[in-house]
Amino acid sequence: MHPLSFFLLLALVHIAAAVTVYGQVPFRESTITSSAIPANNTAHATYDPKNLNPPSLPSLLSTQFSISLGVTNATQIGLSMPVPGSFYGFSVEISLIQVPFLNLMSLLKARGGGVQIRVGGNTQDTATMVSSLPNGTILAKGLINKGVNTQTPALQISPELIFMMNNISSLLGDALKWYLGVPMNDTSNPRLQIAEYGQKILGSNLLGLQIGNEPDLYGAHRLGGRSNNYTTKDYFTEFGQMMAAINRDAEIPVKNQIVGPSVTGGAKEWSTDEIFSTGYLQAYASNLGYIAVERYPDNNCAALYSNASTNYQALFQNYTTHASGLNLVSHFLDTAVVARTAGKPLLMFETNTASCGGFPGISDTYGAALWGIDYGLTMAAVGFSGALLHVSGSNVYYNPFTPPPTNQSAHRQWTISPIFYANLIMAEALGPSNTAQVVDLQANNFNNHTPAYAIYENGIPARVALFNYLTDPSGANTYTASIGISGGPGVGQVKVKYLTASSVAQKDNISWAGQNFGSVFESDGRLQGDVSVQTVPCSNNICQIRVPAPGFALVSFIDTAFTDIDSSPSAIPTYSTTAKGWHSKTMPTVNPTILATSNGHGGPYGKIARGSTSELSAGASRNAVVGPWLAAIGAAVFGAIVVGHRTII
């Protein structure tokens, strides 16, 4: 059994190509026509058609309820502090930066004003930056570090990687910002080159430097030769050694953008409270820019690593309730208060539906999209300032987006999975003003299946988000929310956008306001189809909004580029792909042998896979899981991309 290889790091492979070609081949439209039926040559999780049944219906909902909003944020109780539209970002251990990626990021930027991405994970702790690698390689794998139980190979990174990250930011008008992982496996001899190059190359596109990753697991994993009695006090001391080294290092001019402590906070691991009680926040106040935690609601490690049979059907209901997100954040409510008092943003630095690859038939469904939006809004409502959904290879079920396997990249495009709508809709719900304040309305008597939130912008009600987690084609569980603003000037009409599907178990044909990303292998990262926004008239200041089962509605009280299809929304630059070959000898490459998988770390309750660590079993497991992903990386290295440029809605 292989306890997760936790590979980190970007292979921002294609950006140099994109940058070069951008501007040379303008207005080249897509010439890919996806093959009618994808052949069954992809056993990857991303293309697994496994379908579950929607969880059984609870007793009938109350299908009529009222929501009354305060006219300003002074009269509405329970609002969060302001959060940015870039709230929901990504945590990337390995990523493929191709044209579809840029398009997806453009969609988020246009809605939320920006995107935040973290590059890091377990391998950051044994990573080393070298001045260059042969043949333009940006990442290389070293030897398996015998001192580490996770069998994580040491990584070598060339500065070219960070140049490419900055190239990506630059392509997106510097709206895409980064967090970088910095190793802390050896605090007597800290390797700070990633921080040095990061600040020098990325400048203001660097949001933060994460020092160490999940230190509550260092003892269990014997990372850096630590013993299993590694304590919060040891961590406090070692973190201090890192801060002292950073404070001495003239090549790291910005001292106060450190991210820590990045613990999982599992029941058997350290809580943030235990770390804070060491005096951590006070001692390192001048360095800490952010407080971070990393947690998933569940894990699929047993199935992934020991073929344990798992009743996924029984698990599905854990994701189709409001309680799911509430349970997850309940571990961090104290932390949110402490962080706010300390004036530090609290970030959920790595999360998704389940670590160890997610759950088939759950992580890749409409239900997961609803869960993702609900969980995101819950985090915002209770005091988080951002959250990063983990992205991995095609061997996981929870990816928001996945490129095609290597040898199919010439005739197939990307697969955008339902949970990407959580990023898209969170960005739209919060908007770009950085003034969004979120409140959980405890709607319908705090019904677990019909949560609702209000989002205020600039102090006034901007939007209401309404969920229906039930699946009932009969219509008996379709509800109507009657929304009013108490003491307001009166609302004539509202604009409503729906995220549609006929079942929470559905994987395909999910649409956001009439648009979607197509089915598997069908996306170049742009929304397809015509926008459809409903206008709902209100009477006596009450707006009645129907939400089908299942359903999600975003109700807008204010007009923006995204609520009004008649006005010309601000143009979103996007890029199109073609299947024409494009190769460059000078293009940076990634040695594919390093690109093993990350299945997402941080299972709860100490259930991290920690079994056998023999190299044989580790290797076997890794090969089994990783094979397809290697293929996918190849697509980035050798795939064909021509960048065009046009604007669409």
500 counts as binding ligand NAG under rule CB under 6 A: yes
| CA dihedral sign of residues 101, 104, 106, 108 | negative
| Interstrand relation of 493-500 and 88-92 (parallel, antiparallel or unpaired) | unpaired
Q: Check: CB of residue 544 under 8 Å from CB of residue 64.
A: no
For residues 318 and 447, which CB has a smaller minimum distance to ligand NAG in the complex? 318
Q: By the 8 A CB rule, do 260 and 211 touch? A: yes
315 binds ligand NAG (CB under 6 A): yes
Distances (CA, A) of 446 to 71, 73, 549, 571: 22, 21, 17, 39
Report 417-436 residues binding ligand NAG (CB under 6 A).
435
Using rule CB under 6 A, residue 132 touches ligand NAG:
no
Strands 572-574 and 646-648: antiparallel
State the Cα torsion 631-637-642-645 to the nearest 10°. Answer: 90
Answer for which of 26, 29, 35, 41 binds ligand NAG (CB under 6 A) is: 41
Nearer to ligand NAG, 330 or 509 (CB): 509
The answer to the question of residue 123 lying near ligand NAG (CB under 6 A) is no
Structural Rg of the chain based on CA atoms? 23
Taking Cα atoms as reference points, which of 626, 482, 495 lies closest to residue 546? 482
Closest to ligand NAG by CB, 41 or 62: 41
- Where b means 16+ CB within 10 Å and e means fewer, 401-425 reads bbbbbbebbeebbbbbbbbbbbbbb
Stretch that binds ligand NAG, among 50-58, 94-102, 267-275, 307-315 (CB under 6 A): 307-315
CB of 134 to ligand NAG, least distance (A): 4
| Of positions 20, 68, 128, 541, contacts ligand NAG by CB under 6 A | 128
Choose among 647, 628, 642: nearest CA to 46: 628
Minimum distance between the CB of residue 545 and ligand NAG, rounded to whole angstroms? 17
Instruction: Figure out which of the listed residues 45, 118, 160, 469 binds ligand NAG, where binding follows CB under 6 A.
Output: 160
Residue 522 interacts with ligand NAG (CB under 6 A)? no
**Interface size with ligand NAG, residues (CB under 6 A):** 42
Least separation in angstroms between CB 491 and ligand NAG: 19
Using the contact rule CB under 6 A, the part of the chain among 39-47, 242-250, 438-446, 466-474 near ligand NAG is 39-47
* Chosen residue from 24, 307, 445, 540 binding ligand NAG by CB under 6 A: 307
Instruction: Tell me the closest approach of the beta carbon of residue 169 to ligand NAG, in angstroms.
Output: 7
Which run of H or E residues covers position 347?
A: strand 346-351
**Closer to ligand NAG at the Cβ: 64 or 135?**
135
Show the tokens assigned to 51: 């379908």
Q: Under rule CB under 6 A, which residues in 438-467 are in contact with ligand NAG?
A: 458-459
Give the three-class secondary structure for 351: strand
Q: What is the DSSP letter of 528?
A: B
Q: How far is the CB of 437 from ligand NAG (least distance, A)?
A: 6
407 binds ligand NAG (CB under 6 A): yes
471 touches ligand NAG (CB under 6 A)? no
Number of Cβ within 10 Å of residue 332's Cβ equals 23
Which residue, 186 or 249, is less far from ligand NAG as judged by CB?
186
Per 3-state DSSP, the chain is made up of helix, strand and coil in percentages (nearest 5) of 30, 25, 45
Distance CA 608, CA 266 (A): 10
Stretch that binds ligand NAG, among 56-64, 93-101, 163-171, 528-536 (CB under 6 A): 163-171
Rounded CA-CA distance 225/146 in Å is 9
Nearest to 270 by CA among 233, 243, 324, 325: 233
In the bound state with ligand NAG, the residue whose beta carbon lies nearer, of 105 and 281, is: 105
170 binds ligand NAG (CB under 6 A): yes
Q: Which of residues 206-245 bind ligand NAG (CB under 6 A)?
A: 224-225, 227, 229
40/540 with CB nearer ligand NAG: 40
When the beta carbons of 219 and 376 are compared against ligand NAG, the nearer one is: 219
DSSP states along 545-579: EEE-SSEEEEEESS--TTT-SSS-PPPEEE-----
Closest contact distance (angstroms) between CB of 274 and ligand NAG is 16
Q: Which is nearer to ligand NAG, 305 or 479 (CB)?
A: 305
Interaction pattern, residues 274-303, with ligand NAG; x per rule: CB under 6 A:
-----------------------xx-----
Number of Cβ within 10 Å of residue 75's Cβ equals: 12
Distance of CA 20 to the CA centre of its chain: 28
Q: In this complex, which beta carbon is closest to ligand NAG, that of residue 73 or of residue 402?
A: 73
In DSSP terms, which residues pair with 157 in a beta bridge?
129, 139
Sequence-distant (6+) residues with CB within 8 A of 108 are 86, 114, 115, 423, 424, 427
The Cα–Cα gap between 465 and 547 comes to 11
Cβ distance to ligand NAG smaller for residue 65 or 456: 456
Q: Which tokens hold the place of 2? A: 């292989």
Q: Are 600 and 609 in contact (CB under 8 A)?
A: no
Tell which one of 87, 163, 384, 557 touches ligand NAG (CB under 6 A).
Answer: 163
> What is the phi/psi pair of residue 119, to 5°?
-110, 110
d(CA 18, CA 574): 12
Q: Which is nearer to ligand NAG, 255 or 331 (CB)?
A: 331
Does 555 interact with ligand NAG (rule: CB under 6 A)?
A: no
Q: Is 134 in the site for ligand NAG (CB under 6 A)?
A: yes
Site residues (CB under 6 A) for ligand NAG?
16, 37, 39-41, 73-74, 79, 126, 128, 134-135, 145, 147, 154, 160, 163, 166-167, 170, 185-186, 224-225, 227, 229, 297-298, 306-307, 314-315, 318, 407-408, 435, 437, 458-459, 500, 509, 511
